[in-house]
Structure 1
Amino acid sequence: MNHEPQSDAPHAEDDVTNPATAAIIAKQNDAFRTSITGSVKLAGVPPGKLVMTAGIAARSDEFRTALIEALVAFDAFDANSDPYGLHEMGVLVVEAERVWFKFDLYDENFEYGAETPTDPARTRRVLTLLFPSEY
């Protein structure tokens, strides 16, 4: 009998420091982040919201468009910026300005932290775009 977890199956503890759990979360974060320009809900993309701070919202349409394009294309995760391999944070440079992105994982009602962050049926993502000065 095979007792190994399946690649996309939630882990009982959902310990984000577990490399297998982190890989599942990273895959889900990447699926959400790279699909945000889609106009329809894509199969396999976990539910969530993209939000931005007032500083980002106040910028030009061109800046925000370039920012979204950079966000979707981002793949520069490394051990310094992504120590657990969750693909939950990154730094983008758009028009010579640094912008951070950050994932937070919530329950189905966006009220509390996700109890089972690898389970897309019970977890909602909030991807925030912000200037470092707004942190």
Structure 2
Amino acid sequence: MTSGVNELPDCVKASALLHVANFSEFSPENDPHDEHDFGSFDLIGRKFFWKIDYYDKRCEFGSDDPADPEKTTRVLTLMLAGEY
């Protein structure tokens, strides 16, 4: 999570993480590339974004083949929309 999310009260962070874990409302507005690796939701009057990035196994570069778990480390980031 970003520093902006980390500064929120623990109960808000926990609720935000539950939103991400249960997220299934993909649409053109919150998943513009139809890859299901980005989402958004509102919580406590704030807009949150989450996204998944695909890195090589050493997390130095983008993965050559994001679909291959042997070549890819996935990293999920939870952020406030203003931090994007």
Pairs aligned (count): 84
Q: Given the alignment of the two structures, is residue 112 of structure 1 paired with residue 68 of structure 2, yes or no? A: no
Q: Give the TM-score taking structure 2 as reference length.
A: 0.91
Going from structure 1 to structure 2, the CA distance change for 1:55 and 1:93 (only over 3 Å counts) comes to same
Matching residue within 31, 52, 65 for 2:14: 65
Residue by residue over 1:64-95, the C-alpha shift from the partner in whole angstroms, topping out at 9 and shown as x without a partner, is 11001111111111234324421011102122
**Could you tell me the TM-score, scaled by structure 1's length?**
0.59
Q: Separation in 1 of the partners of 2:51 and 2:25?
A: 14
Match of 1:87 among 36, 49, 74: 36
Runs of 4+ more than 2 Å apart: 79-85
Which structure has the highest helix share of the two? 1
> Please, which runs of 5 or more residues in structure 2 have no aligned partner?
none
Report the RMSD for the aligned CA atoms in angstroms. Answer: 1.2
Letter in 2 for 1:134: E
* 5+ residue gaps, structure 1: 1-51
